[in-house]
Structure 1
Amino acid sequence: MNYFKSAIAYTAFFISFFSVAQSYVGHSIDNYSGIHGVIDNPSNIVDSRFKTDVNLASASTFIGSDYYAIDFGNIFNEDIDIEDNSKISPSDSNNFFSNAEVVGPSFMFNLNDTNSVGIVTRLRGFANINNINGSLFESLNEEFENAEDFSFDSSNLVSTYHVWAEIGFAYGRVLYNKEDHFLKGGITLKLLQGAGISYFNSPGFSGNYDASAQTITTNGSINYGNIDDINNDEDFNFDNLQTGFGADLGVTYEWRKGNDTDNKGFNKYVLKLGLAITDIGSITYKNIKQYSFDLNNQTESTIGYNDTEAFLDENYTSVETTKKLKINLPTALRLSADYHVDKSIYVSVLGAFSMVKNNTEYANKINNAVTLSPRIETKWFSFYSPVSFRQYDDFAWGAGLRLGPLTVGSGSILSNVLSKESKTTDIYLGLKVPIYQSKKTK
């Protein structure tokens, strides 16, 4: 495997594997989002607008980079070349990222007026490559053709690709309900099944390229590792699962006017505030095969270079070890505020912030984002148009709708169509069986 091109390869893997489709942008705040609202904040499972919500299948994917800014207007051209349809912005620390998930058969239902439970099944994949020198990546990607002199410092280069399945057991309870104030909390305990991990990092990795001599001088080291039953030419698989545990925690406060505590069919709040921490936990892999390359004080020719793996093997000394390794989940802090403007009109602000630092080894992370999303919401129909300000100076504008059991949308489709320099794109699709709470006549 080409170590430095692997972020692009795994991104392509996720898109092809989850061929239907941050997740469900604009939809998860909907009071009729059901299971998808529970994924963002487990307290949403209780006092919902459903008697029961059954998710049949849904999928979401998110992909981006601060290295490539792509013109998605040509995405359906069979002859598309990512290099020809993108603006390249090399920096001292570029980043590539993608995540994808399939939510399988899942359900939630009310035990009584104050307690609700549910089960959520998901298949998830994350790919992150953080802090890679853009000039180095560009030269490796182009096999040093027409490369000019450059120096690089990728001391904090880390990359992690992880695929796992999970089954979550969710519980929510009304904690306080008096006059104009309402508070509920929830927790999802998750059993994790890891399908595979691949990673590389580069302690102290730095150097420079001499274009006239076509040589690269390096210092530091590179560590590359993967699960031992996955060779370099195979996709992740589920033949030898590794077990882990995780959890989501959340609370929701509502300020209500004229609180009708007996009527579960109406949204009673003027303002709703949510706080959650998601993806607490890890999976431990017992047999990780790691290759450590010593790059200190060496100058090597790049003439004839066409593969990073072969270049490392031919020019540098490596040590192979087998180790036990804990891979942390992409822990995130999620904040939300939803204002009921009038009748079926709502405006929300959502913030999703990674609790994993960019240079953390053996972990994935989400992209930080703040999203403003106006919506029209009724029992059978909702329409959203989220506007997001995403990490790495990216702006995204999307649209989505829920029509009874069907949900489809994207947090970036409008900006992808209008802009020739999009840094991120996402899409989601879902099908469910909603059974609503009955409404009393007011």
Structure 2
Amino acid sequence: MKKSLVAGLISCVPLIGLSQQFTGYTYDNYSGVHGMLQNPASVAASKYKVNINWFSMSAMAGNTAYELKKDNFTHFKFSDLQENRDYFKSPNNNNKTLWMNTDILGPSLMITTGKKSGFGLYTRVRTLVNEFNLSDKTFRSFGNDSAFYNTTIQENNLQAKAHAFADAGLTYGRIIYSSPNHLLKMGITGKFVMGLAAASIYSNKALVNITKNDHINQLEGDVNVRYSGNLDAMDNKDNELLDVLKKSTNNYGWGFDLGFQYEWRPDNSGWLATDQTPYKLRINASVNDIGSVKYSNSEHGNSYTMNASGLSTDDLDKKDGESIDDYFTRLENMHIITKQAHGDNFKVKLPGTFRFDADYHLYKRLFINAGTVVNLLNKDKNQYTAHYATSFTITPRLEKKWFSLYSPLFYNTLNKKMAWGAGLRLGQVFVGSSSILSNFFSNKNVTAADFHIGITTSIYQRVKTRRHKAPEMVQEAVVEKKEEPKPVETPKPQTVVETKIDTVEKKVEVIKEVTHDKDNDGVVDEKDECPDVPGEVTLAGCPDKDKDGTADKNDKCPDVPGTAKYNGCPIPDTDGDGINDEEDKCPQVAGTAKYNGCPIPDTDGDGINDEEDKCPNTPGKPANNGCPEIKQEVVKKVAIAAKAIYYMSGKDIIQKVSYPKLDIVVKVLKTDPALQISIEGHTDNKGNQVTNLKLSAKRAEAVKKYLIKKGIAENRISAQGFGDSKPIATNATAAGRQKNRRVELHLNYQ
């Protein structure tokens, strides 16, 4: 890729945007939660007792810059694409726009709570990013040396803006007017929004002229950058997406949707019981996503003036291993960019829209819908806010309780093209696209594509019976049956049965055994092993004085409870440390319970146990609490390096001249991995005391960041600012104040 600022501006932010979601499907009377997102009024007295969305996703991508070869699309070949073979520059000469959409709906539900009301809950994650106003001339120059080099390129109002956020909403809907021929519903959704990330870059005017050897003849203009502070965590390659999201908890906001739904029922009394949808015309109108999210701005989220004329494009490249923070700092130090304005926070609006559709019931299960999504945000006035595109849809559909087939005709104002799609709802699953038919059956190359898919669970309302006419009276003949008299039964004479019971007397002889228990301990003498002494039944009549379960006759320690393993004696403690030998890992040497009977260890063998040794892994001296003595030449070397650390005036940016001295400190710390370092920042008393304290802390942190970048573990470094609280000279003179503006580096083993 050619090195140029224009290419950098275009490639530094993902070009993502958003149009409609779940196109065509949301107009279905059985779309459930998805219809609620389109218009919160639809939750009132819906066709469901309960509708649950487990997971669904809508995605859309398109552009006005490139066209993908149709064969690549139909055969799903999207890797190793080459220009002029697999994709081509679009022939239109308009400013270029690119967009893509992802809308993920998590566990969500809607419930009908009565004849007139219902409510819903939803969870949702969306991403929006727009790119606007890349001129056709600049776009054509990419990859065309003759059109790019030594040509002045001008860009006006170039924008790229991104927003990713999660929202959770509570919806309530109710019928507010009802008559035999008219029905009016109203619904509202309140939503809590957590901002995941936001970024924008725009330039009101930029002039670029670069020679073929990458010399910059002209690069002037403005560049305005805003991005949420949690994105700075991406500088650390060890951080994962979860680490970035954890830092986004302070970015949040609130929003709401408000909607109305009207149904016209011109002949409501004539609908059959089998009809699930008793309206002839349904009209939806709603405003959605009214609200905003407040973000903490990154330190480098500023407005800059830009001037790199006379430099090389190499100066604009982000170097290997250079963080975003270092990159912006370097550009500022080189005066390529000059900061003009900064705000600690910036606000990103939600993508507000007005949504309207009219649904006409053609015949039995056939419907046709005409709808629009109108963007309410001006893209030029909302330079931080990514938003939806205005779009129009006409969707005929066949709709039944467990089955729907729909085919939307979709027009997006971004690419000004009509697309034709298809969708299917079968039971609990739905899948569709607003462009699949036009992309597969048209001879043109592909500039946009989309799909949606989801799985739900539903419990339907019961449909009440209605008839065309009043039911006819049906007379039923009553047939009387005469009961014939039952014949009288003559009782049979009773028969006397004499039963003779022979009683057999059995004589049982009880032989009483005469037994003796001389010591009265409950064990007969014949079984008593100690018949002359009262004892325990469990021990065959023998006594157990210490009650340890070992009979006295076998107990070698009859007066002290013990264990059978040791013949009635306690478990021994050979070394007398209070821990018996079975639990003592060092039974021959007295120790402590903390170390399982072993003595406190001395890992480094310097004669100082680890609990008292401040450097337990490095042999040291008692005078240094077990740590070795730091050589004076090392202390002196680090102290000299500390005096050679210079900063930009009034800032915490370390000047490059300081790097060689700091590298000496790095070498010292790498030579002895046990060494630790504390960094102290100090200022003079000029200016505000609070500001000085903050500046001194930032300067100490700047040294810490440098050492970490050079490979020193963070847990070996501490940094603290003291402001002007610890002067080493008088602040009354310039020389004294210069001495007080310092960084001190202290080595230690603790």
- TM superposition score normalised by structure 1: 0.88
Tell me, yes or no, if structure 1 residue 354 matches structure 2 residue 360.
Answer: no
Aligned to 2:549: none
Report if aligned partners of 1:92, 1:153 keep a CA contact under 8 Å in 2: no
Aligned to 2:77: 77
Tell me, yes or no, if structure 1 residue 335 matches structure 2 residue 349.
Answer: no
Structure-2 separation of matches of 1:144 and 1:337: 52
Picking from 9, 13, 23, the partner of 1:3 is: 9
Structure-2 separation of matches of 1:376 and 1:292: 54
Aligned to 1:293: 304
Structure-1 separation of matches of 2:316 and 2:38: 46
**One-letter code of the match for 2:132?**
N
Picking from 336, 349, 360, the partner of 1:316 is: 336
Structure-2 separation of matches of 1:34 and 1:187: 16
CA RMSD of aligned residues (A): 3.2
**One-letter code of the match for 1:433?**
T
CA 160–265 in structure 1, closer or farther in 2 if over 3 Å, else same: farther
Give, in angstroms, the shift of residue 288 of structure 1. Answer: 3.1
Structure-2 separation of matches of 1:6 and 1:112: 52
Bigger proportion of residues as helix: 2
Aligned to 2:441: 418
Structure-2 separation of matches of 1:315 and 1:73: 49
**One-letter code of the match for 1:277?**
V
Aligned to 1:33: 31
Structure-1 separation of matches of 2:115 and 2:272: 9
Report if aligned partners of 1:330, 1:356 keep a CA contact under 8 Å in 2: yes
Aligned to 1:248: 257
Report if aligned partners of 1:116, 1:172 keep a CA contact under 8 Å in 2: yes
Give, in angstroms, the shift of residue 304 of structure 1. Answer: 9.6
Structure-2 separation of matches of 1:402 and 1:92: 38
Structure-1 separation of matches of 2:456 and 2:53: 4
Higher relative contact order (CA 8 A, sep 6+): 1
CA 317–120 in structure 1, closer or farther in 2 if over 3 Å, else same: same
CA displacement, residues 125-172 of structure 1 (integer Å, 9 cap, x when unaligned): 111111222333454x64968636655543322221111111000011
Tell me, yes or no, if structure 1 residue 63 matches structure 2 residue 61.
Answer: yes
Give, in angstroms, the shift of residue 105 of structure 1. Answer: 0.6
Q: What does residue range 199-278 of structure 1 map to in structure 2 within 5 Å? A: 199-203=200-204, 205-209=205-209, 215=216, 217-231=218-232, 237-240=244-247, 241=249, 242-259=251-268, 266-278=276-288
Picking from 397, 404, 420, the partner of 1:382 is: 404
More moved, 171-180 vs 252-261:
252-261
Report if aligned partners of 1:394, 1:422 keep a CA contact under 8 Å in 2: no
Aligned to 1:116: 118
CA 333–405 in structure 1, closer or farther in 2 if over 3 Å, else same: same
Structure-2 separation of matches of 1:157 and 1:362: 12
Tell me, yes or no, if structure 1 residue 133 matches structure 2 residue 132.
Answer: no
Report if aligned partners of 1:135, 1:150 keep a CA contact under 8 Å in 2: no
- Point out the structure with max Rg over C-alpha: 2
CA 350–167 in structure 1, closer or farther in 2 if over 3 Å, else same: same
Give, in angstroms, the shift of residue 282 of structure 1. Answer: 0.6
More moved, 142-151 vs 106-115:
142-151
**One-letter code of the match for 1:377?**
E
Bigger proportion of residues as strand: 1
Q: Percent identity at matched positions? A: 29
Aligned to 1:441: 465
Aligned to 1:178: 179
Give, in angstroms, the shift of residue 258 of structure 1. Answer: 2.5
Structure-2 separation of matches of 1:369 and 1:78: 27
- Give ranges in structure 1 of 5+ residues lacking alignment: 16-21
Give, in angstroms, the shift of residue 103 of structure 1. Answer: 0.4
Give, in angstroms, the shift of residue 93 of structure 1. Answer: 2.8
Report if aligned partners of 2:275, 2:364 keep a CA contact under 8 Å in 1: no
Report if aligned partners of 1:207, 1:216 keep a CA contact under 8 Å in 2: no
Give, in angstroms, the shift of residue 177 of structure 1. Answer: 1.0
Give, in angstroms, the shift of residue 63 of structure 1. Answer: 1.4
Give, in angstroms, the shift of residue 371 of structure 1. Answer: 0.8
- Give ranges in structure 2 of 5+ residues lacking alignment: 1-6, 467-750
Structure-1 separation of matches of 2:272 and 2:44: 14
Structure-2 separation of matches of 1:397 and 1:216: 48
**One-letter code of the match for 1:227?**
S
More moved, 222-231 vs 286-295:
286-295
More moved, 244-253 vs 28-37:
244-253
CA displacement, residues 233-256 of structure 1 (integer Å, 9 cap, x when unaligned): 675842122110011111111111
